[in-house]
Amino acid sequence: MNADQPRRPKVVIVGAGFGGLEAAVALRRADADVTVIDRQNHHCFQPLLYQVATAALSPADVAWPIRHILREQQNATVLMEPVRGVDTAQQTVRTESNAVPYDYLVLATGATHSYFGHDEWAAVAPGLKTIDDATRIRRSILVAFERAETLADTGDRGRRLTFVIVGGGATGIEMAGAIADIARKTLATDFRRIDPRMARIVLIEAGPRVLPAFPPEVSDYVRRALEEAGVEVMTDTAVTQCDDRGVDTKAGRIEAWNIIWAAGVKASPAAQWLDAEADRAGRVKVAPDLSVPGHANVFVIGDTASIMQGDGKPVPGIAPAAKQMGHYVGEVIAARVAGRSADTPFRYRHRGDLATISRRAAVVQFGRLRLTGRIGWLFWSVAHIYFLIGARNRFIVAVTWFWSYLTYQRGARLITENDRPPQEK
Amino acid sequence: MNADQPRRPKVVIVGAGFGGLEAAVALRRADADVTVIDRQNHHCFQPLLYQVATAALSPADVAWPIRHILREQQNATVLMEPVRGVDTAQQTVRTESNAVPYDYLVLATGATHSYFGHDEWAAVAPGLKTIDDATRIRRSILVAFERAETLADTGDRGRRLTFVIVGGGATGIEMAGAIADIARKTLATDFRRIDPRMARIVLIEAGPRVLPAFPPEVSDYVRRALEEAGVEVMTDTAVTQCDDRGVDTKAGRIEAWNIIWAAGVKASPAAQWLDAEADRAGRVKVAPDLSVPGHANVFVIGDTASIMQGDGKPVPGIAPAAKQMGHYVGEVIAARVAGRSADTPFRYRHRGDLATISRRAAVVQFGRLRLTGRIGWLFWSVAHIYFLIGARNRFIVAVTWFWSYLTYQRGARLITENDRPPQEK
C-alpha cells in the first residue's frame, strides 16, 4: 500500500440487533472497514422470543449467526466480545481483550429489563430479552407443572400453578396468552394427578389499560380476548413487591411461584460509556442526525437512543424504529466517508403496531387499517415470517406454526440446562 | 373401591430412554399402575445427539416430552425427579421428594461417560450423553472459532482451532466428520481474520481400528473417508493425560483447546442401589429374564444391564438392544400381572449397525447387506428419521437435512447460556 494513500476509515458498530445490523448493511458499498461487535454470536428476532419462552419455537428458529448474515459483505468483520467502554479521546472501543479503534462509532446496544430500582426482583421475576432469558423462562414454566405433578402436598399446587405476568404491553399480553394456551390446550391431557387447566394466569398492568400503544377500543378487545382465553387481567394495579412466593400489589397479595417481568426497560450503559446526557430510562439524548452532542462521529440508535418525532412524541422502542435509525446512520456515515455532506435529519415513519394474544387472535393497527381475530392473526403470522432472517428459518417457523395450529402442540417443550428440578423454595 | 378388591400392582420404571419407554408401552394393556420416573422431562434420541452438538439440529428436533409420548396411555404416570436409591426391603424407589412404592421395578437408567478413573478429565473433555452435553459441546466448538477471530495473538490460533476427539466408535467418528464439515464447509467464508479450513481435527483411538463393531474393511473405508474429509486419524494411540491445553498420548502431546470425550461409558449407579453384582463397567449382571438375581421383581435393562448373547458375546450397548430388552421386560411383567407364567429367556436379535461420517458418506451393515457412501448415507438418514418420535420431528429433521445438504449450512449455530465468551484460559 502506498504510504501516501489515505487510510480506510474504520466504522465500529456495537450491537447486532435490528439497528446495528441495518447500519452494517447500509455501509456495504462504503469504502470503509466495518467491524460489528456483539457479545452474542447471533442476531435474535426479539418479537418472537416469547414463542421460545413458551415452547412453541426453538432458539435456532428465531436467531441467526451474525457473521453468517454478513458473510458476503467483504468490508464487514464480526467480533464476538463484550464491550466494556468507549474512549472518545483515543477513539477506541474497549472490549474484553482488545481496544478497537474507530473513526465512526455506532452504539446499538439495546435495552435491558428495568425493575424500577428493585434490581433484586430480577432473581424471582425474570424478563425476556435474550435467547437465554427465553430458555430460562421456558424451563420455569414447564418445571412448574412438573413439580405440581410430583408434589405430595396438594396444598402447594395452587401456588405452584399460578403465573403472574407483570406488564401489559405487547410482550406481557403475548406471554399471558401463550401460557394460557399451554395450560388449557397443550398440556391438558398430559398429566394424571393435576389438571393443567386449573392453572391461574394473572396479567398485572399498572396503567389503566393493556397495550397502551394501541387505541382504547383495541385495548378493550384484547382484554376480552385474554379473559376468554382464561387470563385474569388486572389494570390500574401497581406491583409493590416481588419475592420468591408471590407479588404484592396495591390490590393485595397474589401467591405465585412463577413471575415474569414484562413491565419496563432501561437502556444499555452507552450513556455512561460516553458520559452523555440521558433521559430517565438511561437513553442517550441524540441530535437530529442521531449523533451524540459533542461527538459528531459517534451515533446512538435503537432502544439506546432518545429522540422526538415531529409531533413531539418519542420515537417508540420497537424493531422498525431501530431498523430505520440503523439504515439512516449507515447512509450518513457512507456519505461522509465518500466526502459528501449528509445533513437531512432522521425522520421516523410509523408503519403500524402488531400484537398477538393467542392462536387465532391478534391485533394489527396500520394507519386506518385495523384487523383483529383470525384475520389479524394471519396477518401477524405472515408479517413475522416475512421479517425473519434466513429462508430456512422462515420455512421452519411456518411449518411449526401450521403444525401447532392443527394440533395445539408445542414442539420445544424441553427443560434443559438443569439436571434436576430446583429445590423446594 | 371395595376393600376386598385386590390392589392394582404398581410398576415403576426408572429412566425413559429407549428401554424404559418401550417397557412402559408394552404395559399399556396391563391391569397395573405404571409410573415412569426420569430426571429429565424429555426422551432424547441419542443417535442424533451429535448433530445437536455440531449445530445441525436443534435440541427440540431430537427430544420429545416423555409425558406427551405417554399421554394416551391412561395407566401411565410420569414424574420428573432424580432417583436417589432403591429400598428392596420396603419395595420403594427413593426420589428427591418421595418414596414411590413398587411391586415390579424396571431400572433403565442408562450409562454415562467413563474416564477410566480420571474423573477430573470431565471438566476439560466433555462427553455426549444428554441435550445439555450437546449444547455445551456446540458452544465450545463455536466459541473456538469466535475466539480465534478475536485473538490479537495469532500464535494462539492454531491451538484454539485444534479439535481432539478421543474414541473411534460411532460417536467419535460422527463428531470428527461433523466438525470437519463445519470447518471446511459451513464456516469457510464467514470469517475475515482466520481461515476455518485450517482447523486441525484429530481422532484418537486406543485400539487398532476405528468402528471396532464393524468388519475390518469397513473400518478401513471409514478411516479413508475421514482422512479425505480432513480428519487426522490416530489408531493404537492411548490418551494418557487430558488438561485444559491439550492431551498427552503415547505418541506425544497434542496442543488443543477443544477435547471431546467419546471413549468410554460406565453404567449408572443401579448396581449400587441394588447392592447387586456388576461387571467392570458397572453394569448389573442380570438373569436370563433380565431380573436381578435374588430380586425376581426387579429388572435391569439397556446400558445398565450386562447379559451375554447365545454366542457368548455381550449384548451391545445400542438403542435397538435397549428397546428389545424394554419390550421383553414389559411383556414379562404384563404376563405376571395377568397371572400367566413368563419363562422364555430374553434373546437379543442383532439387526445391524449404522454410522455416518459426514454428508454423503455413511456405513451400514445389516447381515450380509453392506452399504457405504451416498447410498449408505441415504439409508442412514431414512432409518434415523423413521425411528424419531413424533411426526413433527420427522418432518422438521427431514427438511433440515435436505436444506443443509443443499447449502452446507447448519441452522443451529447458536452460542447460548453464556453471556460472554470464556475468559482466556
One-character DSSP codes across B57-124: S-GGGSEEEHHHHTTT-TTEEEEE--EEEEETTTTEEEESS-EEE-SEEEE---EEE--TT-GGGGGT
Q: Lowest-pLDDT range, A157-171, A217-231, B175-189, B391-405? A: B391-405
CA B186, CA B179: separation in Å to the nearest integer?
10
> Residue A133 has which C-alpha cell?
432469558
Using CB atoms, which residue from A59, A420, A424 is nearest to B414?
A59
Cβ pair B60:A415 closer than 8 A: no
Which of B35, B36, B68 should we substitute to test contact with A (largest number of A Cβ atoms within 10 Å)?
A: B68
Q: Where in chain B is the domain with CATH 3.50.50.100?
A: 119-263
d(CA A202, CA A223): 12
The per-residue pLDDT for B172 is 96
Nearest Cα of chain B lies from the Cα of A408 at a distance, in angstroms, of: 12
Where does CATH 3.50.50.60 sit in chain A? 10-39+81-113+265-337
> What is the distance in angstroms between the Cα of A63 and the nearest Cα belonging to chain B?
8
Q: What is the pLDDT of residues A13-27, one digit of tens each?
A: 999 999 999 999 999
> Which of A280, A401, A144 is closest to B41 using CA atoms?
A144
Query: Does the beta-carbon distance from A58 to B63 stay under 8 Å?
Result: no
- CATH number for the domain whose boundaries are A10-39+81-113+265-337: 3.50.50.60
ipTM: 0.88
From first to last of its 425 residues, what are the pLDDT tens digits of chain B?
455 567 899 999 999 999 999 999 999 999 999 999 999 999 999 999 999 999 999 999 999 999 999 999 999 999 999 999 999 999 999 998 889 999 999 999 999 889 988 999 999 999 999 999 999 999 999 999 999 998 867 778 889 999 999 999 999 999 999 999 999 989 999 999 999 999 999 999 999 999 998 899 999 999 999 999 999 999 999 999 999 999 999 899 999 999 999 998 888 899 999 999 999 899 999 999 999 999 999 999 999 999 998 888 899 999 999 999 999 999 999 999 999 987 799 999 998 888 888 777 899 988 888 999 889 988 899 989 988 888 888 888 888 888 887 887 887 888 886 433 333 33
**Helix spans in A151-282 (H):** 157-160, 170-181, 216-228, 270-274
- Report d(CA A38, CA A13) in Å as an integer: 9
Mean pLDDT of A276-304: 95
β-strand pairing of A305-306 with A353-358: unpaired
Residue B386 CB coordination number (10 Å): 8
Using a CB-CB distance cutoff of 8 angstroms, which residues of chain A are in contact with residue B414? Answer: 41-42, 59-60, 63, 65, 131
How many angstroms separate the CA atoms of A167 and A204, rounded?
A: 6
| Cα separation, A234 vs A236, whole angstroms | 7
Q: Which residues of A touch B79 (CB under 8 A)?
A: 149-150
| N-terminal to C-terminal alpha carbon distance within chain A | 65
Chain B contacts of A403, Cβ < 8 Å? 392, 395
Is residue A291 predicted with pLDDT exceeding 70? yes
Nearest residue in A to B66, CA atom:
A190
pLDDT recorded at residue B61? 92
CA atoms of A24 and A30, how far apart (whole Å): 10
A190 and B421 in contact by Cβ < 8 A?
Answer: no
CA-based nearest residue to B294, from B306, B267, B282, B276: B276
Note the pTM of the prediction, 2 decimals.
0.91
Q: How confident is the model at residue A4 (pLDDT cuts 50, 70, 90)?
A: low
The pLDDT tens digits for A91-144 are 999 998 889 999 999 999 999 889 988 999 999 999 999 999 999 999 999 999
Neighbours of A34 (CB within 10 A): 27
Contacts of B418 in chain A (CB under 8 A): 132
Given the residues B72, B96, B146, B174, the one annotated as active site? B174
Chain B nearest-CA residue for A96:
B423
CB burial of B191-229 (b: ≥16 within 10 Å; e: otherwise) equals bbebebeebbbbbbbbeebbbeebeeebbebbbebbeeb
Please indicate whether, in this complex, the C-beta atoms of A412 and B60 are within 8 angstroms of each other. yes
**CATH code of the domain made up of B119-263:** 3.50.50.100
SS3 B155: helix
Catalytic residue status for A174: yes
How many CB atoms within 10 Å of residue B346? Answer: 22
Q: Is A6 exposed, middle or buried (0-12, 13-18, 19+ CB in 10 A)?
A: exposed
